[in-house]
């Protein structure tokens, strides 16, 4: 009897290994860099900033580099696309198979499990929230209605710079821009929040961004899972608890205001409906019994965290990169200022409404997006095995798919003199004249592309160039040190920001200066 059992076990195990071996023969993974190690794979090869390291590793593979590269990050297979063609085949050819996003342990905590939007699985809830984002929450009508909130923030920034100018003081623009973008996005979420809530939210947003962007060994190395060796889980739990308490206060405050509004006249109610913030819209949907998906309180809180953390540092980083590029290229800066002077004049501060008449400013913004996309790597995850027919490679199921947007924007196959800052390439007659950063062109997709493209793109295309325009219209920005150019060193993390604070001295450019009070 024992011999029969042993024979059956050997047969079953043998068949399993045979099928696994046969499956591996059919899989042809993209090329990998040498130096992979047991347990950790290629993790030791990654250095910050990761988007540059990934391009460097892929460039070593074969003649001219490998547009598609395979890495093993601990226990996780990872496929990296570094060319427009590879990205196109993945997104356009296999969109349904890479519609998920890798969810880290920290991200899952801030998403209230699966209640959020940014890292939610591609299901009915995600599709409902995507439609809600595009049509209402971050749609053109809401972005337009909340323009006064963003305008107030820009005016406040100009006022602070004017005070510094009067005393010949330097300004930490990095800190001011982060505060501006945080305050603007928080007040777009809940327009009546007290200033103390805004200040507290700023600190929490910074901590969330650091935690979500930090490398966590438990996400990649199987033997580390459940141990919290780096203490990130404990820190995330503390920040989540504080953020949750703040969001509860925010929602309670809003609900009390909405209840009070019910007792007012119909005229006042109608007037309020014309100026709803994002929290109003979310609560309306939560109270709608006919909605396709019933939003819970956790859904609302998770979405607010998504919007605030994704929309704050990214906008600030883009304004800063654009300003630094213009300061390092005085001819381009002069063209932007001359265009604003001709269209707007000097008796008022440029606004978002002026943007359609400022094509060179828009070209300079597109060039900044090409060189410095706020999210340099688009993260996806395969839900099933993918065979890339055009390349003969296989992407395993549950593999992390990284699309190196930063590398694609500098690909010499598409961009002449790719490292140079040349807004003229996007002007009439330029090689990139017809390109828009909305994800239709795979060699220029700073906001991603496909189903997981950034839903806040429309807001970013309005807010970032308007803030930059006000800064260069109202002030000359001087460096206290004698360096020829401002450094372009990048920080590491989910958002590609400058590494060092931007310290500049504003000098009033307009005389008389427009009223800013």
pLDDT digits (tens, 9 = 90+) for 421-459: 999 999 999 999 999 999 899 999 999 999 889 989 999
pLDDT number for residue 264: 60
Give the span between the Cα atoms of 317 and 301, in whole angstroms: 25
Binding-site residue ranges = 454
- Judged on CB neighbours under 10 Å (0-12, 13-18, 19+), 131 is middle
- Judged on CB neighbours under 10 Å (0-12, 13-18, 19+), 356 is exposed
Binding-site residue ranges for heme = 454
Give the span between the Cα atoms of 265 and 322, in whole angstroms: 47
- pTM of the full predicted structure? 0.90
pLDDT digits (tens, 9 = 90+) for 440-450: 999 999 999 99
- 38 is written with which tokens? 């047991």
Task: Using pLDDT thresholds of 50, 70 and 90, give the confidence band for residue 349.
Answer: very high
CATH architecture of 47-508: Orthogonal Bundle (1.10)
Residue 41 zone, left/alpha/beta (φ > 0; ψ -120 to 50; rest): left
Torsions phi, psi of 477, nearest 5?
Answer: -115, 115
Across-strand partners of 72?
Answer: 77
Give the span between the Cα atoms of 306 and 494, in whole angstroms: 13
Task: Using pLDDT thresholds of 50, 70 and 90, give the confidence band for residue 482.
Answer: low
Q: What percent of the chain has pLDDT over 70?
A: 91
Share the mean pLDDT of the chain: 88
Residue 400 has pLDDT above 50, yes or no: yes
Residue 12 has pLDDT above 70, yes or no: no
Task: Using pLDDT thresholds of 50, 70 and 90, give the confidence band for residue 409.
Answer: very high
List the domain boundaries for the chain. Answer: 47-508
Give the residue from 83, 33, 45, 34 showing the smallest Cα distance to 391. Answer: 83
Higher pLDDT: 19 or 152? It is 152
Give the span between the Cα atoms of 137 and 148, in whole angstroms: 16
Give the span between the Cα atoms of 481 and 487, in whole angstroms: 12
Give the span between the Cα atoms of 13 and 21, in whole angstroms: 12
Higher pLDDT: 351 or 224? It is 351
Task: Using pLDDT thresholds of 50, 70 and 90, give the confidence band for residue 292.
Answer: confident
């Amino acid at each position: 009897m024992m011999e029969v059992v042993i024979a059956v076990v050997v047969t079953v195990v043998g068949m399993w290994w045979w099928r696994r071996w046969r499956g591996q023969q059919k899989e042809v993974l993209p090329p990998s860099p040498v130096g992979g190690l047991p347990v950790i794979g290629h993790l030791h090869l990654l250095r910050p900033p990761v988007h540059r390291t990934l391009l460097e590793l892929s460039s070593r593979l074969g003649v001219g580099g490998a547009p598609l590269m395979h890495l093993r990050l601990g226990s996780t297979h990872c496929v990296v696309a570094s060319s427009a063609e590879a990205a196109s085949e993945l997104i356009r050819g296999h969109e349904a198979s890479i519609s998920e996003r890798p969810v880290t342990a920290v991200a899952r905590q801030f998403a209230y499990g699966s209640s959020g939007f940014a890292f939610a699985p591609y299901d009915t809830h995600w599709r409902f929230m995507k439609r809600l984002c595009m049509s209402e929450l971050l749609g053109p009508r809401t972005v337009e209605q909340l323009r006064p909130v963003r305008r107030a923030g820009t005016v406040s920034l100009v006022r602070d710079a004017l005070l510094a100018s009067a005393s010949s003081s330097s300004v930490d623009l990095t800190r001011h821009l982060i505060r501006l973008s945080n305050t603007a996005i928080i007040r777009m979420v809940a327009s009546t929040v007290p200033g103390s809530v805004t200040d507290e939210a700023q600190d929490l947003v910074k901590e969330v961004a650091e935690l979500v962007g930090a490398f966590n060994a438990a996400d990649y190395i199987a033997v580390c899972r459940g141990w919290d060796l780096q203490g990130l889980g404990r820190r995330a739990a503390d920040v989540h608890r504080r953020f949750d308490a703040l969001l509860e206060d925010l929602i309670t405050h809003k609900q009390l205001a909405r209840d009070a509004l019910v007792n007012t006249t119909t005229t006042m109610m109608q007037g309020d409906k014309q100026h709803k913030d994002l929290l109003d819209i979310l609560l309306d949907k939560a109270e709608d019994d006919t909605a396709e998906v019933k939003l819970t309180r956790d859904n609302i809180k998770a979405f607010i965290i998504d919007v605030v953390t994704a929309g704050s540092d990214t906008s600030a980083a883009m304004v800063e990169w654009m300003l630094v590029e213009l300061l390092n290229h005085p001819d381009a800066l002069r063209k932007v200022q001359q265009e604003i002077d001709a269209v707007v004049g000097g008796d008022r501060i440029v606004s978002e409404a002026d943007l359609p008449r400022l094509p060179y400013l828009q070209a300079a913004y597109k060039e900044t997006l090409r060189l410095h996309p706020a999210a340099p790597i688009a993260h996806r995850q395969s839900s099933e095995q993918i065979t890339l027919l055009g390349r003969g490679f296989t992407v395993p199921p549950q593999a992390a798919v990284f699309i190196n947007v930063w590398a694609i924007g500098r690909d010499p196959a598409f961009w002449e003199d790719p490292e140079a800052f040349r807004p003229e390439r996007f002007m009439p007659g330029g090689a990139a004249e017809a390109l828009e950063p909305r994800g239709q062109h795979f060699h220029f997709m700073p906001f991603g592309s496909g189903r997981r493209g950034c839903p806040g793109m429309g807001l970013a295309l309005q807010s970032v160039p308007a803030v930059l325009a006000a800064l260069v219209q109202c002030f000359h920005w001087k460096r206290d040190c004698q360096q020829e150019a401002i450094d372009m060193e990048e920080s590491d993390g989910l958002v590609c920001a400058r590494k060092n604070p931007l310290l500049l001295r504003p000098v009033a450019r307009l005389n008389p200066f427009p009223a800013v009070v």
